[in-house]
Chain A
Amino acid sequence: MTNSTITKKHSNERTFQIINKTIITIVLTIVAMAVLYPLIYLVSAAFAPGNSISSLNIIPFKDGVTLEHYRFLFNNTNYMLWFKNTFLIALGTSVTTVLTCAIAAYVFSRFRFPFKKSMMLSLLILQIFPSFVGMVAIYVILLRIGGLDTLWGMVLIYLAGNIPYNTWLVKSYIDSIPRSLDEAARIDGASNARTFFQIVLPLAKPIIIFLAITSFTGPWMEFVFSKMILRSNAKQTLALGLFSFVTDKKNEFTTFCAGALIIAIPFVIFFVLTQRILVTSLSSGALKE
């Protein structure tokens, strides 16, 4: 091989690489545009004048920017109340889910007791069924215990629905914490409760944080149960309130977008910031069960 053919081969490879990169960049750009398409309209509609989708200019931000929808949301609707209700439900669900699942997972991981196998098996099978298959029954049960149209009723439903999957998730994690650590604590005379709260819980922090966040974000946009359980105006949530803007009867698309944007932004910031952690927790949580 002469020198010139080597350089030729090199330059060939380089042009090939450049073409390759250009094609890939173009493809990625097209996909990115498709991904961003509805989101750009979400942002532009939130600040666009007019009410319905038909009055929305097809070129985003062409008709100027206005804050009238936000003024409308905060002055003329119960947006703050919906926000407060949703926040309380989400917080309640998150705290109770973490407590219930973490303790149950610890007990499943570290203790031997009768019916343990059948209980774990039932949890595993139950996690596959969506809880609203039994929604009529849940309605009647809440009616029986006075939980209809209350926020704690919603927390109970979400909490119960969270238990089967998340108990398994946390249990798998606690299984991977060496038993010698809590056995050492037991030998030093710590009670079960103390061992759990002071040794195991701090070590399980990553999965606890993951659980706290996922169970906090879950209720924000849940629709089916809120619609069925929360009837009075004082108990509406964000999903219900926002959905009411785009029903068949009225189309206030721009107001819907304005309200939805406030929710979407923290979600997006959170996901973009934590994408690295998300990648690892998704793959380790789901794959190596």
Chain B
Amino acid sequence: MIATASAAEIPSRTKVLVTSLLFMGLAHLLYLKQYIKGIFFASIEVLFFIFLPRIWEKIVGMITLGDPQPNLPIRERDHSMFMLIDGIMILAVILIFVMLYYLSVKSALSGWQEIQINGKFPDKGSFFSEIGDKAFPVAGLMPAILLVLFFVIVPLVFSACVAFTNYSAPKNIPPNNTVDWVGLDNFRALFGGDAIWTGAMGRVAAWTLIWATLATITCYAGGIIMAVVLQESRIRLKTVFRSIFILPYAVPTVVSMLIWQNLLNGSFGTVNRTLIALGLITKDTVIPWLSDPKMARFMCIAINLWAGFPYFMLLTMGTMTSINKDQYEAADIDGASPIQRFRFITLPQVLYQTMPLIIMSFTFNINNFGAIFFLTGGNPIVADSTITSARGTDIMVTWIYKLTITLLKYNYASVLAVCIFVILAPFAIYNFRRTKSFKEGEL
């Protein structure tokens, strides 16, 4: 049966807009005869209202973070961190609700438009098949959206929030005690307020930037040099050498770094023992590869070069094979030397193509937990290490780990996380502007 709508049955746009704004799905039920959609939207709003008291309670909990209740047994006291995370998750749920509300209004308006154009209500048969087909994109996106929302965004927001609380050992660890909002106190302590912590902060931040810069440059340069030498040399063993050179990339970082850590051990490591056996050093003059702060930092970059150059070598070789052969032939005819060919044809094109990856590699190295943690563990100990847990080669991410796991200073760890966020934000924007979708105006 085809429902033909007489002029009287077609509602006005204002009516549809007002009713859909008034209550989710109301317009669908009253005017558009889209009952299933209407009931779906309406039941979401009903559920929201049923849970409103609890939602309100969670939001209040997030704002107060609970009251100290020393008289109650520990199990019954307010757990500030649960309250905070519940509050953030509720905010995420509210966000979803608002988005759905927006969708329901939009759907009502587009439904109205369709009736207006067709002059009739959509018939039932097409409506059902349409729902089945429309469900696919929604159902397909749902898992990705929910997972990212609750396991990526909520944790990041939580982290940012903790930076403004006093969540730290020994006084403010739930469930024994509560946590309070302290405003910018943590930032003040780490940026000038507390001499020891400020010193450690400055040292770690500076080293993180130096580390990321040098680690990126050395690996990039090393990778390009090896790729060019391999590609241009035309020696017979090329494939053998290439297979050897990609080994560090293939071996998991944890394994290779822990092996290096042992080989470079001051008194027991094979490196020093080999040097002693060769008579280059004596037992008393062993080289403190990983126990002298400056030397340890140098070794971090050197070993990272060992582990990181194959990636850039592979990339460069990939781009080199895509360079047009005609250019080389033309250069040969003009009598260019191999060095000139490299300088004026190969290098510019390789640089141009791999430049974005330098930026990506820099952000990767800022976060390169494994290369530091498994090689030096952050060692050696420096003056403030006992208080701050930041050692000579710790970068920000390894320090975050230590603050969280050993010192339980979650507040300071979160300040560091916020700092990483601030450092990386420009790169995120760069990353965005570089994409094809942005360039083609899709975003």
Contacts and interface: CB of A to CB of B under 8 A. Distances in A.
Are A and B associated in one complex? yes
A221 B371 CA distance: 13
B262 A246 contact: yes
Interface string A134-157: 111110110010000000000011
Contacts of B99: 114-115
A23 to B, nearest CB: 10
Interface string A232-253: 0000000100110010000101
B152 A126 contact: yes
Interface string A250-289: 0101001100100110011011100100111011101111
B202 interface: no
B382 interface: no
Interface string B240-259: 01111111111111111011
Contact of B144 (A24, A100, A286): A100
A254 B59 CA distance: 54
A280 B397 CA distance: 32
Contact of A287 (B265, B354, B424): B354
Contacts of B340: none
Contacts of A114: 99, 102-103, 106
Contacts of A6: none
Interface stretch (B111-119, B206-214, B312-320): B312-320
Nearest to A34: B306
B400 A133 contact: yes
Given A114-B106, A271-B246, A287-B356, A52 B306 contact: no
A160 B154 CA distance: 12
B132 A191 contact: yes
A161 B229 contact: no
A197 to B, nearest CB: 11
A253 B82 CA distance: 41
A36 B247 contact: yes
A221 B322 contact: no
A181 interface: no
Interface stretch (B190-198, B327-335, B426-434): B426-434
Interface stretch (A25-33, A70-78, A87-95, A201-209): A25-33
Contact of A38 (B150, B233, B242, B259): B259
B421 interface: yes
Given A32-B244, A125-B432, A286-B357, A53 B270 contact: yes
Nearest to B232: A24
Contacts of A133: 155-156, 159, 397, 400, 417, 420-421
Contact of A103 (B85, B140, B237, B417): B140
A34 B422 CA distance: 38
Given A135-B404, A253-B262, A267 B147 contact: no
A227 B140 CA distance: 32
B82 A279 contact: no
A224 B413 CA distance: 15
8 residue pairs, one from A and one from B, having the closest CB atoms: A134-B155, A283-B318, A160-B151, A137-B158, A271-B250, A137-B155, A54-B268, A192-B136
Interface of A: 21, 24-25, 27-28, 31-32, 34-39, 41-42, 52-54, 56, 58, 100-101, 103-104, 106-108, 111, 113-115, 117, 119-138, 140-141, 144, 156-157, 159-161, 163-164, 167-168, 172, 175, 191-193, 196, 220-221, 223-224, 227-228, 239, 242-243, 246, 251, 253, 256-257, 260, 263-264, 267-268, 270-272, 275, 278-280, 282-284, 286-289
Interface of B: 81-82, 85-86, 88-89, 99, 102-103, 106, 132-133, 136-137, 140-141, 143-145, 147-148, 150-156, 158-159, 162, 226, 229-230, 233, 235, 237, 241-256, 258-263, 265, 267-270, 273-274, 277, 306, 311, 314-315, 317-319, 321-322, 353-354, 356-357, 360, 363, 367, 369-370, 373-374, 397, 400-401, 404-405, 410, 413, 417, 420-421, 424, 427-428, 431-432, 434-437, 443
